[in-house]
């Protein structure tokens, strides 16, 4: 069985995330997909949005495909979320499964700084997702030392979509564009929970 792990802060999830997951699934052809919103990420500031709320927004991914499930395992853990621990859990709960881990192009370049990165390479094949057109050569250069360390890497090509969760939270996206970028039930959760005050004044719901 092929199992694909798609993780992130998802604060909020948007169509760029959806496109990336579609591309990763096309590249891997997994039997099962686990979308895992992060608990407390080790490499950046923790999200101000409660984990349970981000988990509710991530239900948008389940509409993509019956193979997709959304897990709150990292959110339910105490302390910082390390990818190694999540992959080890999936290995133990799905014995014999071939594991795949999605990695953004920016994270690929700093991957050797991750906690137990060599063990991650032993556990899972990396599915690298481009962030911008024309970065293929740079990605392959960044991937080369990981492959020399025994890593297995697959490249996924998602349609370029200029969007960042931080821009959504900051109110930098025009209302008409915001309606296109947020899949259900994300707008409903944002409105119900009063998230992101910078966008609440706009007529975008």
| Segments making up each domain of the chain, as ranges | 2-200
Cα–Cα distance between 98 and 28 in angstroms, integer?
11
Query: Which stretch of DSSP H or E encloses residue 142?
Result: helix 136-148
Model pTM above 0.85: yes
What is the Cα gyration radius of the chain?
17
Segment 19-48, tens digit of pLDDT: 999 999 999 999 999 999 998 766 556 678
Spatial contact of 51 and 8, defined as CB atoms under 8 Å apart: no
Q: Which two tokens stand for residue 63?
A: 């509409």
- Strand boundaries in the chain, DSSP class E: 2-8, 32-37, 68-70, 98-104, 124-129, 153-156
CB-based contacts of 52, cutoff 8 Å, min separation 6: 72, 75
Looking up tokens 């032993």 gives 122
175: left (phi over 0), alpha (psi -120 to 50) or beta: alpha
β-pair partners for 23 = none
Segment 123-141, tens digit of pLDDT: 999 999 876 666 778 888 9
Task: Indicate the SS3 state at residue 63.
Answer: helix
The CATH code that applies to domain 2-200 is: 3.40.50.620
CB atoms within 10 A of CB 44: 9
Reported as half-sphere exposure (CB side, CA atoms, 13 A), residue 53 has a value of 16
Question: What is the chain's pLDDT, residue by residue, as a tens digit (205 residues)?
Answer: 999 999 999 999 999 999 999 999 999 999 999 999 998 766 556 678 999 999 999 999 999 999 999 999 999 987 788 999 999 999 999 999 999 999 988 888 899 999 999 999 999 999 998 766 667 788 889 999 999 999 999 999 887 787 899 999 999 998 889 999 999 999 999 999 999 998 866 566 6
Spatial contact of 125 and 100, defined as CB atoms under 8 Å apart: yes
196: left (phi over 0), alpha (psi -120 to 50) or beta: left
């Amino acid at each position: 069985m092929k199992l694909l792990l798609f993780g992130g802060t998802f604060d909020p999830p948007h169509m760029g995330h959806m496109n990336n997951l579609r591309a990763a699934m096309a590249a891997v052809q997994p039997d099962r997909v686990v979308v895992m919103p992060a608990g407390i990420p080790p490499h950046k500031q923790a999200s101000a949005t409660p984990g349970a709320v981000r988990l509710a927004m991530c239900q948008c991914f389940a509409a993509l495909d019956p193979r997709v499930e959304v897990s709150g395992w990292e959110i339910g853990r105490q302390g910082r979320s390390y990818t190694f621990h999540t992959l080890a859990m999936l290995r133990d709960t799905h014995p014999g499964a071939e594991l795949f881990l999605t990695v953004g192009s920016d994270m690929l370049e700093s991957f050797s700084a991750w906690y137990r990165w060599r063990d991650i390479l032993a556990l899972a094949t990396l599915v690298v997702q481009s962030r911008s057109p024309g970065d293929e050569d740079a990605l392959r250069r960044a991937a080369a030392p990981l492959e020399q360390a025994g890593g297995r890497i697959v490249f996924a090509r998602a349609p370029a979509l200029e969007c960042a969760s931080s821009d959504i939270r900051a109110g930098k996206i025009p209302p008409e564009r915001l309606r296109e970028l947020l899949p259900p039930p994300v707008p409903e959760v944002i409105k119900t929970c009063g998230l992101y005050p910078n966008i609440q004044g706009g007529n975008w719901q």
